[in-house]
């Protein structure tokens, strides 16, 4: 959520930001809704102040054993007006907040302008894709030959876009999770968290998933399966006042993630690129405002090191204004090379949300000067486990159908190849 003063004092900044994001949100409507809320609040405050003043006067008269009937009659009138005004105020406030919560974060100045991923700008590459002496297969073809992923039985259990990991497939997924957690905790200094997978509505709202993306969430009895560990990790400190000495806070969590993938029908139907349930290792940081730019670079490099140690070629791109996420001010995507598809595919998004999430979740810190400020929050996949498995199958496939295991992963996997 943005600082309301941006709407009240600098609406042109908001309009320009929405133009860059190719959003049709009506800022002028928001201004009028906010004015109405403030007008009702002012009237309500005036009546409450008058009632308080009259109540004191009634007390004085009664102490003197004087009649206060006229004042009591006026207080009763005010009470009736307050009841009506409070109801009108709540309706006006809820109407405004319903729309205000749909306003995305302000973009950083260096975010490239563009409608979609075609405007993303490549920042750097690590290693060039290797040449194969044979036509490389896609991961689901490799997996079928090795009998390590089962889509048909998963569909029987749960429907489309689910998978059963079998044998060495399950073993490889587990090895990757442990490898990533060890790297981020032992080398990068993150504290491991194992959070709940089910959260309340306001928790999803706190990180910006709701109300905008409510159609993509799995709901059960008024609670929701998490789409990413970012949701519980950020909200761990919901409505808390941290101390400056606590920052930065760095958390890592492995969780399953659940998404309906609304609006993505027909995309990546084959394989495990786009699933309703998938595994991810997530990185989250809480920092002081002046430290969040540096923290974004650090967090991105932490995620990159996973791919470097596994010997997987990748590139880093900065997302354009039309491709960036709702809560993000700036995002780097890490895209791993998939030879079977002959293209780079996203395996991690690393974002600085600045104080956007902290305002929604009310997460502040107190500095040495006792001044209270909102923290900045950052998040990134460290990395998507299933897509990492895909990248290993495709980059390490051999002509005989087997798959080598990256050297750094052998101690976790327990052998040097599959097949």
Mean pLDDT for the stretch of residues 178-201: 98
Phi, psi of 385 (to 5 degrees): -70, -45
DSSP 189-225: -PEEE---SEEEHHHHHHHT-TTTTGGGS-EETTEEE
Indicate whether 78 and 121 sit together in one domain. no
Q: 275-290 burial string, b = 16+ CB within 10 Å, else e?
A: bbbbbbbbbbbbbeee
Residue appearing with tokens 């400056």: 244
Indicate whether 135 and 71 sit together in one domain. no
pLDDT at 270: 87
How many domains does the chain divide into?
2
Q: How far apart are CA 271 and CA 37, in angstroms?
A: 50
Indicate whether 386 and 311 sit together in one domain. yes
The separation between CA 87 and the C-alpha centre of its own chain, rounded to angstroms, equals 34
For residue 144, the tally of other CB atoms under 10 A from its CB is 14
Asked if the structure places residue 183 within a domain, the reply is yes
Domain boundary among 33, 67, 100: 100
Question: Does the predicted TM-score (pTM) go above 0.95?
Answer: no
Please identify every residue annotated as catalytic.
259, 274, 346, 349, 387
Indicate whether 122 and 88 sit together in one domain. no
Indicate whether 266 and 140 sit together in one domain. yes
Domain boundary among 100, 130, 161: 100
- Would the pLDDT of 2 be above 80? yes
Q: What is the pLDDT of residues 71-114, one digit of tens each?
A: 999 999 999 999 999 999 999 999 999 999 999 999 999 999 99
Q: Which residues pair with 346 in a beta bridge?
A: 335
pLDDT at 369: 87
Mean pLDDT for the stretch of residues 128-138: 97
DSSP 355-395: THHHHHHT-EEE-TT--EEEPEEEEEEEEEHHHHHHHHHHH
Indicate whether 358 and 224 sit together in one domain. yes
Q: Are strands 149-150 and 121-126 parallel, antiparallel or unpaired?
A: unpaired
Indicate whether 148 and 80 sit together in one domain. no
CATH number of residue 86's parent domain: 1.10.287.40
* 3-state class (DSSP) for residue 88: helix
Indicate whether 270 and 172 sit together in one domain. yes
CB 400 within 8 A of CB 202: no
The kind and range of the H/E element at 249 are strand 249-258
Whole domain around residue 264: which residue ranges?
A: 117-418
Q: Are strands 219-220 and 121-126 parallel, antiparallel or unpaired?
A: unpaired
Asked if the structure places residue 107 within a domain, the reply is no
Asked if the structure places residue 105 within a domain, the reply is no
Q: Band of the pLDDT at 267, cuts 50, 70, 90?
A: low
DSSP 45-77: HHHHHHHHHHHHHHHHHHHTT---HHHHHHHHH
Asked if the structure places residue 167 within a domain, the reply is yes
pLDDT at 262: 59
Q: What is the pLDDT of residues 373-383, one digit of tens each?
A: 999 999 999 99
Token duo for residue 18: 């929405």
pLDDT at 347: 98
Domain boundary among 70, 100, 130: 100
The kind and range of the H/E element at 352 are strand 343-352
Q: How far apart are CA 396 and CA 410, in angstroms?
A: 13
- Would the pLDDT of 265 be above 60? no
CATH number of residue 308's parent domain: 3.30.930.10
Indicate whether 291 and 331 sit together in one domain. yes
Q: How far apart are CA 404 and CA 300, in angstroms?
A: 27
For residue 38, the tally of other CB atoms under 10 A from its CB is 15
Q: What is the pLDDT of residues 335-345, one digit of tens each?
A: 999 999 999 99
Indicate whether 51 and 137 sit together in one domain. no
Asked if the structure places residue 108 within a domain, the reply is no
């Amino acid at each position: 959520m943005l600082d309301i003063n941006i709407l009240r004092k600098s609406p042109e900044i908001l309009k320009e930001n929405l133009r860059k994001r190719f959003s049709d949100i009506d800022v002028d409507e928001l201004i009028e809704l906010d004015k109405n809320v403030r007008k009702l609040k002012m009237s309500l405050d005036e009546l409450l102040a008058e009632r308080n003043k009259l109540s004191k006067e009634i007390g004085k008269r009664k102490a003197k054993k004087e009649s206060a009937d006229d004042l009591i009659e006026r207080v009763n009138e005010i009470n009736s007006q307050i009841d009506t005004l409070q109801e009108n105020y709540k309706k006006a406030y809820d109407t405004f907040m319903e729309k205000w919560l749909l306003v995305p974060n302000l973009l950083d100045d260096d975010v490239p302008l563009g409608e979609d991923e075609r405007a993303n700008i490549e920042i750097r590459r690590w290693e060039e894709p290797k040449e194969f002496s044979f036509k490389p297969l896609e991961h689901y073809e490799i997996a079928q030959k090795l009998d390590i992923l089962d889509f048909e039985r998963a569909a029987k259990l749960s429907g489309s876009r689910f998978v059963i990991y079998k044998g060495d497939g399950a073993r490889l997924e587990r090895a990757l999770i442990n490898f990533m957690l060890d790297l981020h905790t032992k080398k990068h200094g993150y504290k491991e968290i194992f959070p709940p997978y089910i959260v309340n509505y306001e928790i999803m709202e706190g990180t910006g998933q709701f109300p905008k993306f409510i159609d993509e969430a799995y709901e059960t009895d008024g609670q929701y399966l998490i789409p990413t560990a970012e949701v519980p990790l950020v909200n761990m400190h919901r409505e808390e006042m941290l101390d400056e000495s606590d920052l930065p806070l760095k958390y890592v969590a492995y969780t399953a993630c659940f998404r309906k993938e609304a609006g993505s029908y027909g995309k990546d139907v084959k394989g495990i690129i786009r699933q309703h349930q998938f595994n991810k290792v997530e990185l989250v940081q809480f920092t002081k405002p002046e430290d969040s730019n540096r923290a974004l670079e650090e967090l991105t490099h932490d995620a990159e090191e996973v791919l470097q140690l596994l010997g997987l070629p990748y590139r880093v791109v900065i997302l354009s204004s039309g491709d960036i996420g709702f809560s993000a001010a700036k995002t780097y995507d890490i895209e791993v090379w998939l030879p079977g598809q002959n293209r780079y595919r996203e395996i991690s998004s690393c974002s600085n949300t600045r104080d956007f999430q902290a305002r929604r979740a009310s997460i502040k810190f107190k500095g040495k000067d006792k001044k209270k400020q909102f923290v900045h929050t950052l998040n990134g996949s460290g990395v998507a486990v299933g897509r990492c498995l895909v990248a290993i199958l495709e980059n390490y496939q051999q002509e005989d159908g087997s798959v080598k295991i990256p050297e750094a992963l052998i101690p976790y996997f327990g052998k040097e190849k599959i097949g």
